[in-house]
Amino acid sequence: METLEAYQEGKVLLIDKPLNWTSFQVVNKIRWLIKQQFGIKKIKVGHAGTLDPLATGLLILCTGKFTKKIETYQAQVKEYTGTITLGTTTPSYDLETEVDQTFDISGITEEDIQDNTKHFIGEIQQQPPIFSALKKEGKRLYEYAREGEKVEIPKRTITISEFEITKIDLPNVEFRAVCSKGTYIRSLAHDFGKTLNNGAHLSALRRTKIGEFSVEDALGVLEFEEAFKEN
């Protein structure tokens, strides 16, 4: 049986984040479960890398003294699978916002799509989306976006070591990507459309790995709750 001391000394919890949950909500839920189970008023719980509400997949949670290891886990290489939808763009580069532009994709071939991946392999410059939690002058970028303010967003150097197209069913293109910390898959989808002289947005995303950790070893929030209470 797991003890309070084990959680205070530090544990790594692998959670499969559900769709429409924020990473913060998952942390809050797990923290609440631990506090309820052991009748305590506080315990440190943090996550090692945010997933957007519209994404699912691996979220690493650290408890107690292991919260000091969060930055180490955040820095590790990540793997994602997902779907890029060609022919339409959105301001947020995903489904958080409505489509703002449409494009004709009738001239795009499967060969064009496969060849296009080569533009994104290796060390590249990427501009984060305006709808992101990055800060500029003490304010979140998404706050500028929601107020309709235009703001210069500097590009950042990221590394994409693997980027493969796994299925094409236009307008949808399924992919797998392995990338460094700081990579925005939404920006990858947006830029993928631009390099095809078209438009695109991210319509599905799942994080499958962080370093050596895999989503296959993770529990859903409800699964964790049931297993936790049984223990």
Q: What's the one-letter identity of residue 182?
A: G
Catalytic residue among 52, 100, 104, 191: 52
Distance (Å, rounded) from C-alpha 152 to C-alpha 148? 13
- Residue 122 has what DSSP assignment? E
Short-list 112, 91, 118, 119, CA closest to 186: 91
Is 52 marked active-site? yes
> Are residues 105 and 171 in contact, defined by beta-carbon separation less than 8 angstroms?
yes
Distance (Å, rounded) from C-alpha 82 to C-alpha 93? 13
Measure the CA dihedral 86/89/94/97, to 10°: -140
Active-site positions read 52
